[in-house]
Amino acid sequence: MTNAGAQTPQTTDSRSGKRVLAVVGFLVFVEFSSGFLQGFYLPVINEIKEHLNATDASIAWFITVQSLAAGVCVPVLAKLGDIFGHRRILRIAILAVLVGTALVAFAPNLPLVLFGRVLCGPLAVWLPLELAIVHNQIHGETARRAIGMLISALTIGALIGSLAAGAASALIGSLVVRLAIPVIIVAISAVFVFTLVPESTVRANPRIDWPGFILLAVFMLVLLWGINMLKASPGLGVVLVVVALVLMACFVWFELRADAPAINLRVLFSNRLWPVYATSFLFGIVLFGTQSITTTFLAGKPELAGYGFGLTAGQISLFTGLNTLLGAVGAAVYAFIAQKITLRGVLMTGTGAIAVAQLLLIFGHAAFPVVIVSVALAGLGGGFLLGGLPAATAEVAPADETGIATGIYNSVKTLGGAVAGAIFASVLAAFVIPEAHAASATGYVTVWIICAVATGVCPFILLLLRSSHSRTPVA
């Protein structure tokens, strides 16, 4: 006689699969929407400038204010998610972005549009909150695969968003109508988050460290503003960075003495997390810092600058698409590879692949096939890291601090890109060919050397990574 209540392995697997679909399926669309927004606006910035009769200097704030707002929002909202529920804060974040995209589409003047971009800042905290929900609901290899799905959706969304902006420009004459497309995408995501996404159940200490949050927000704002100003006004930029460092020292002093700190710095600087954050920062240098570098190098005219291939914007977009698609593939398969070589092995492989890609550019940038291989290798290695780094962060973080842990991962990666932007701009400015109005090949090689060193040291840093006994082992 069989027990009616008994569960066969097939029944358990079926329920597990349905649970994964319920938790992750709709979040995949939400993260696709996040990528879509990030890819959609860049190609139409010039049209927005003309539509609003703005100057080049003023429209530059279109990107800057969103980046500054994101720097402030991510750690604060991620921590509030740990306290009040990650879905609850995700709902607030998605409503803010919905209002922000609506203002960008329909506001009649630049100040309101920029305010809309400020409201889009919480877009950057969607992923950390989603990762916290995933790790609260599912665990182990299944959670790793789910994170890979989210990162792949984000990456593909960015590519499709960019392509959609170009296609819409050709098919739809009204800029306002085109800018309404992101509003519709976010509105659909909001419906999913409000009706179908489950809430996390683990909560952190309900006490809110308001002084710590304020110090953290001001520190991030001043630091990112200072880094952005280093290119336009070096003196002011240096002053702001110094002020930010002072604020950081005050924040560390205060948090180490707080009973319920905004950020548990003792966990942050433990061997469970700091190697991941250090790798994320160094990865951010390459990920964000080389985007425009690769574009200008490929567009360089050999007869004037002595390097490059004179590619058009359309041809360069093929390189961008190759890099992005391989990044999505890397994020999708990293969990399966980790079963064979461990997650730490995947991270070391990813950073090593990017370092090799930079070495190929250093020594073979004159050969077109070598450049193609380098772009492809960097894309695949980057995908391993885009999937593996947040997974490693979520797995080793305390269960009630997953949101803030993954939020900091996101922030340090972005910070690495901001630092790289300032450094690389200075490097290229130091090696200029006046008659070509462009940087020399030496400038590009110097940038690639910096990137090779940055990613080349990551495998040694990752050797120091220790797993938490309460979570799925990293190694």
CB under 8 A, 24+ apart: contacts of 296-299: 296/438, 296/439, 297/365, 297/444, 298/371
| Whether residue 213 is found in the same domain as residue 203 | no
Q: How many CB atoms lie within 10 A of CB 429?
A: 11
| Whether residue 189 is found in the same domain as residue 224 | no
| Whether residue 273 is found in the same domain as residue 385 | yes
Name the least confident of 128-132, 228-232, 284-288: 228-232
Helix (H) or strand (E) holding 340: helix 313-364
Helix (H) or strand (E) holding 74: helix 61-84
| Whether residue 147 is found in the same domain as residue 127 | yes
| Whether residue 193 is found in the same domain as residue 218 | no
CA distance 395 to 135: 8
Name the least confident of 115-129, 178-192, 420-434: 420-434
| Whether residue 173 is found in the same domain as residue 279 | no
Look-up: residue for tokens 């980790």?
A: 338
Rg (CA), the chain: 22
Look-up: residue for tokens 């990551």?
A: 458
| Whether residue 137 is found in the same domain as residue 239 | no
- At 11 the pLDDT is 40
- At 22 the pLDDT is 61
Name the least confident of 133-137, 193-197, 452-456, 463-467: 463-467
Which of 197, 232, 259 delimits the end of a domain?
259
Q: Is residue 165 part of a domain?
A: yes
| Whether residue 65 is found in the same domain as residue 97 | yes
| Residue 216 three-state SS | helix
Which of 259, 294, 325 delimits the end of a domain?
259
Q: Is residue 358 part of a domain?
A: yes
pLDDT of residue 88 exceeding 90: yes
Which of 239, 259, 279 delimits the end of a domain?
259
Q: Is residue 6 part of a domain?
A: no
* Mean pLDDT, rounded, for 366-393: 95
DSSP letter at 439? E
- At 12 the pLDDT is 40
* Mean pLDDT, rounded, for 119-134: 93
CB under 8 A, 24+ apart: contacts of 183-191: 183/98, 183/101, 183/102, 183/105, 185/33, 185/36, 185/37, 186/33, 186/37, 186/94, 186/97, 186/98, 186/101, 187/98, 188/29, 188/33, 189/29, 189/30, 189/33, 189/94, 190/91, 190/94, 190/95, 190/98
When pLDDT is cut at 50, 70 and 90, the band that residue 121 belongs to is: very high
When pLDDT is cut at 50, 70 and 90, the band that residue 469 belongs to is: very low
- At 143 the pLDDT is 86
pTM of the predicted model, to two decimals? 0.86
CA distance 102 to 94: 12
* Mean pLDDT, rounded, for 124-147: 88
When pLDDT is cut at 50, 70 and 90, the band that residue 19 belongs to is: low
CA distance 136 to 54: 46
- At 364 the pLDDT is 94
| Whether residue 197 is found in the same domain as residue 240 | no
What average pLDDT does the structure give for the chain?
86
Q: How many CB atoms lie within 10 A of CB 367?
A: 12
Per the model's pLDDT, the better-predicted residue between 432 and 191 turns out to be 191
Q: Are 24 and 150 in contact (CB under 8 A)?
A: yes
Q: Is residue 8 part of a domain?
A: no
Closest by Cα among 334, 344, 338, 340 to 463:
344
- At 58 the pLDDT is 80
pLDDT of residue 453 exceeding 90: yes
Give tens-digit pLDDT for 226-276.
888 887 788 898 999 999 999 999 999 998 888 888 888 888 888 889 999
| Whether residue 220 is found in the same domain as residue 143 | no
Q: Are 265 and 252 in contact (CB under 8 A)?
A: yes
Total number of domains in the chain: 3
Q: Is residue 5 part of a domain?
A: no
Give the structural domain span for 167.
15-207
When pLDDT is cut at 50, 70 and 90, the band that residue 367 belongs to is: very high
pLDDT of residue 284 exceeding 90: yes
Q: Residue 363's domain is classified under what CATH number?
A: 1.20.1250.20
Q: Is residue 331 part of a domain?
A: yes
- At 2 the pLDDT is 42
Q: Is residue 47 part of a domain?
A: yes
| Whether residue 191 is found in the same domain as residue 221 | no
Give Cα 149 to chain centroid, integer Å.
15
Q: Is residue 10 part of a domain?
A: no
Class of residue 270 by CB neighbours under 10 A (exposed 0-12, middle 13-18, buried 19+):
middle
| Whether residue 223 is found in the same domain as residue 272 | no
